[in-house]
Amino acid sequence: MDIEIDAQAKDRRLNRVVALTVVVLSIFMGLGQVKDGNIVQAMAQAQSNAVDRWGEYQATRTKLHIDETALAQARVSPALAPEAARLAAEIAKYEQESPGLRNAAQGFQAQYDALNVHDDQFDASDAAIGVAVAVAAVAALSESFPALAVAWLFGGFGMVMGLAGFLGWALKSPLASLLS
């Protein structure tokens, strides 16, 4: 009788620890998914801005090339001198605009790349915490503390990766390179 009561108490304790583990990990995962969603939105905006700036840069470079060609042709005829002056002014304007557009596009691309690191951190966090919750469920069903310890390892890794995403740490996940 005493052995049965001790076994039931042990089972209840294991189940309480598993339940607490699952609750903590699920809450952390939910908060991480909200933050990750915001990061993904910022990544989409940065990518859109980069594409826009690269489009402007290409258009400016194309106009520059066209005007340079037209200027070369206009210089052949003295009657086109006023047109040559206008083209020279346009060329100067495009040469001045091009570096700024290129730098802006590269800046948006760098912003996207920086955000992608944190997106990968939250992805690794979600994956590890998902595995931890599954292993915790198995620990409860099999009444196994070693399985719960494995769940804690996965959960701990997931929480570290999630904290890296929240706090802006430059921690790279080994899963990111494996899964990308």
Query: What is the distance between the alpha carbons of residues 37 and 123, in angstroms, rounded to a whole number?
Result: 11
The number of residues in the chain equals 180
Which tens digit of pLDDT belongs to each residue from 36-90?
999 999 999 999 999 999 999 999 999 999 999 999 988 888 888 899 999 999 9
Burial of 46 per CB tally in 10 Å (0-12, 13-18, 19+)? buried
To which residue do tokens 């106009």 refer?
63
The model's pLDDT over 86-103, given as tens digits with 9 standing for 90+, comes to 999 999 999 999 999 999
Question: Cβ distance 103 to 155 under 8 Å?
Answer: no
- Cβ pair 122, 32 in contact under 8 A: yes
Domain edges within the chain: 2-173
Q: Which amino acid is at 20?
A: L
